[in-house]
Amino acid sequence: MKIEAYVAGIGVLGPGLDGWPSSRAVLAGERPYQPLPTVLPVPTLLSATERRRTGRVIRLALAIAVEAVAHAGLEAAQLRSVFTSSTGDGQNCHELCESLAQPAPEISPTRFANSVHNAAAGYWSIATSAMQPSTVLCAFDASFCAGLLEALVQVAVDEEPILLVSYDADYPPPMSAKRPVPDAFGTALVLTPRRGPGSLARLEGKLCNESFDRLAGPLEALRGSNPAARSLPLLRHLAIGRRARTVIEYLDGSSLAVDVEPCA
């Protein structure tokens, strides 16, 4: 079976990368890259109560998901989803562990509910009324690749459109010393089984042992320091818009080769 899908929408947010249109220009080399701190928008699709309960990671995931779905012009409620993250909500985890280290531990119900790895996917489904199947993955540094593979396989096998949301953000100290992730970065893709009028490119994936692609300069630093930013070589080819093959770092020397074929 061919592991292929069409890219219908893209969302990007990270240091100096504020949405797909401007990121596309940076990744295509039309504009210089300026690695400014990531600006996370307020998640307007959540109710005021829920908004207060969400931290940086959930805001990151929701922002890129919103952008990708809007770009694709599809209904969020109709889309399956794959969320993937190495870290989940590091700030929330830190605060939980601090509370639990007290002689008489006490933690807030909201902090506990937000501690699940699928918190962002849960808020997304509630906010968009999406009842379609959704899964939430982790493969440490390979989390983006594992998510892309799962999304491509779902499209190939079940022939339904899907939203892939890959996101990771920084831990506060002291965890940051053990797991340094400099800032928040995320990529979302809407993938469809068939070519549509708005399709950007066809992707075809294949597991391999080829050496993976790197970028140059500060973009390579970002790729190497945030697990979700391992998507950057693929985004770069989508930005350039020429037929290309990119190899994404997976587990222990294995890789995912992706053939990118622009639809324009």
Q: Which residues bind to another protein, rule: CB under 8 A? A: 1, 3, 77, 86-88, 93, 96-101, 105-109, 112-119, 121-123, 125-126, 128-140, 143, 146, 149-150, 153-154, 156-158, 173-175, 177-179, 207, 250-252, 254
CB of 106 to another protein, least distance (A): 7
Backbone CA torsion sign across 205, 207, 211, 217: positive
Pairing of strands 201-208, 185-192: unpaired
**Smallest gap from residue 15 Cβ to another protein (A):** 22
Who contacts 97 (Cβ-Cβ below 8 Å, separation ≥6)?
none
Nearest-approach distance from CB 197 to another protein, in angstroms: 27
Nearer to another protein, 34 or 211 (CB): 211
DSSP result, 8-28: EEEEEEETTEESHHHHHHHHT
Considering the complex, state which of residue 34 and residue 140 has its C-beta at the smaller distance from another protein: 140
Our CB check for another protein shows the closer of 72 and 96 to be 96
Query: 114 or 246, CB closer to another protein?
Result: 114
CA distance 209 to 231: 18
Nearest-angstrom CA–CA distance, 213 and 21: 23
Nearer CB in complex with another protein: 12/188? 188
Q: Minimal distance in Å, beta carbon 9 to another protein? A: 20
> Min. distance of Cβ 211 from another protein in angstroms?
17
Tally Cβ neighbours within 10 Å of residue 51.
17
Structure tokens belonging to residue 172: 């506060």
